[in-house]
Amino acid sequence: MDKDLKNNSYNELLDIAIAHQQKPFCAKYLFTFIHQKDAADINDITPLSKTFRNQLTEEGFTISRITLSERHDDPDGTIKFVFDLPGGVRIESVRLKDDDRNTLCISTQAGCRMGCKFCATGRLAFQRNLTTSEIVEQVYQAERVCGRIDNLVYMGMGEPLDNFDNVMRSVETLNDKNGRNLGIRHITISTCGLPEQIKQLALSSIQPRLAVSLHAPNDEIRSKLMRVGKTYRLDDILTSLKSYQSTTGKRITIEYCMIDGVNDQIDHARSLVKLLRPLKVNVNLIELNTFPGCRYRPSSPEQIRQFAEILSNSGIETIIRFKRGRSIKAACGQLGATWLK
């Protein structure tokens, strides 16, 4: 059992309560106070007996928090939060505001092992996986500043499926009605496409939405853009997505970053249509955001429009993702950009 109570799922808290000869409802108090009422200290969980609270404290159990160290506001309403984590680790989260929605984009790792050449995070050294607490805390801290988060995207720093257990435990925790009660249809995990983990996700008892970063119509281009493209071929990824879809019946979002002269040609759009035909997908085209040292340029708006038209005319629902937060380096792929040497 993890001594940081915030890292434990409801069932794990139940095990802790039972191991301490407590009634099952004590686990519910623990969970509710930690994840709904933001208790900072075990002693604040007053419905629990003083003896049980003292026991937990003496045995070294804690309730962790992360530290908000910086806040940057973009004129378009985007806010970037910088958090300090134990061990000199820094991560970022981004709040995006729509008329009726408060979306938070959160990080799952400090750095990333996947090595995408067009992504600032991918250029940072990988430090470590975030704990479950460090993932859910990004939501709790953002809510203190900007009110209830009602839409959550795992699209910040790191590859969520490379930190599978902690990420899934965070989804379960945030979705729990005794916690934040965030609707599962309002939680999206974005992955660069790890086939084994996609299959594992399909079998999971909890089903967030899935977005897959494809970025190329063939392995040749993909493996130039993404180091992980050398390990997993498009064939393997598409097979895992077909199997995911036959198990879950869920539509998948395909993310495709538009890079000038690299993956944005008419032929590329046609190949992409063939690739995606067997799947039920919608495509998000993202104009490349640059950062210091980025060797690529974004496609022109006209090129993106043409590319989108080919997909749409072939019956693939396609949108061009509205870009925001660029003045504070909070747009897709720019997280960590300010720390690049």
| Integer angstrom CA distances of residue 53 from 3, 29, 278 | 14, 12, 55
Among residue numbers 198 through 237, which ones bind ligand SAH (CB under 6 A)? 213
- Provide, rounded to whole angstroms, the least separation between the CB of residue 254 and ligand SF4: 14
Cα end-to-end distance, the chain, whole Å: 39
Which of 17/226 has CB closer to ligand SF4? 226
Which of 42/194 has CB closer to ligand SF4? 194
Among residue numbers 279 through 298, which ones bind ligand SAH (CB under 6 A)? 286, 288-289
Q: Which does 171 bind (CB under 5 to 8 A by kind): ligand SF4, ligand SAH, none?
A: none
96 lies in the site for ligand SAH, by CB under 6 A: no
Q: What number of helices (H) and strands (E) belong to the chain? A: 11, 12
What are the structure tokens assigned to 83, written together?
């958090």
From 26, 112, 294, 332, active-site residue: 332
d(CA 83, CA 77): 19
- Provide, rounded to whole angstroms, the least separation between the CB of residue 131 and ligand SF4: 18
Active site residue 332: yes
333 lies in the site for ligand SAH, by CB under 6 A: yes
Element spanning 140, H or E: helix 132-146
Q: What angle do CA 265, 269, 274 make, to 5 degrees?
A: 145
At 231 the three-state DSSP class reads coil
159 lies in the site for ligand SAH, by CB under 6 A: yes
Q: What angle do CA 205, 206, 209 make, to 5 degrees?
A: 140
264 lies in the site for ligand SAH, by CB under 6 A: no
From 92, 137, 159, 172, active-site residue: 92
- DSSP annotation of 314 reads T
Binding site for ligand SF4 (CB under 6 A): 112, 114, 116, 119, 121-122, 158-159, 192, 213
Active site residue 146: no
CB contact set of 248 (below 8 Å; sequence gap of 6+)? 202, 207
191 lies in the site for ligand SAH, by CB under 6 A: yes
85 lies in the site for ligand SAH, by CB under 6 A: no
Question: Which residues of the shown chain bind ligand SAH in the complex (CB under 6 A)?
Answer: 118-119, 155, 159, 190-192, 213, 255, 257, 286, 288-289, 332-333
